[in-house]
């Protein structure tokens, strides 16, 4: 089977940096993705890592270490609008569907 672990809640203040960790157990591995979901909204795609290392997209970066079955999402210069749930998701094999974690609720305060 496949399972993902991520913290349930994270809090931070505007302008800060926050890291949301994700560890996974899969029989195979075909990439780690991150999605953002605001209350009442649909999940939206943030990033995808297939190889080890850091991928940067604006204020958001995502990191992967396949040997540790671990990744993280780094959010910099936090804004109030970043308050949302963040999900890591893995695909165990090519051509299969993403399996999502339970999500991390990020609360950004002023």
Partner 1 sequence: DTGVSQDPRHKITKRGQNVTFRCDPISEHNRLYWYRQTLGQGPEFLTYFQNEAQLEKSRLLSDRFSAERPKGSFSTLEIQRTEQGDSAMYLCASTKDRANYGYTFGSGTRLTVV
Decide if residue 58 touches partner 1 (CB under 8 A): no
The DSSP code sequence of the chain is --EEE--SEEEEETT--EEEEEEEE-SS---EEEEEE-TTS--EEEEEE-SSEEEEETTEEEEEEGGGTEEEEEE-S--GGG-EEEEEEE-SSTTS--EE---EEEEEE-
Looking at 45, 68, 77, 80, which residue binds partner 1 (CB under 8 A)?
A: 45
Based on the shown chain and the rule CB under 8 A, indicate whether residue 29 belongs to the binding site for partner 1. Answer: no
> Counting contacts by CB under 8 A, is residue 68 touching partner 1?
no
Binding site for partner 1 (CB under 8 A): 30-31, 33, 35, 41-46, 48, 50, 87, 89, 91, 94-103
């Amino acid at each position: 089977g496949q399972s993902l672990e991520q913290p349930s809640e994270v809090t931070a203040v505007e302008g800060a940096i926050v890291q949301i960790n994700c560890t996974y157990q899969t029989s195979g591995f075909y990439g780690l993705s991150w999605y953002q979901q605001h209350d009442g909204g649909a999940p939206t795609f943030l990033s995808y890592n297939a190889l080890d290392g850091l991928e940067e997209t604006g204020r958001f970066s995502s990191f992967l270490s396949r040997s540790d079955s671990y990744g993280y999402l780094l959010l910099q210069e936090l804004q109030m609008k970043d308050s949302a749930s963040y999900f890591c998701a893995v695909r165990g094999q090519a051509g299969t569907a993403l399996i999502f974690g339970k999500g991390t609720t990020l609360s950004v305060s002023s």
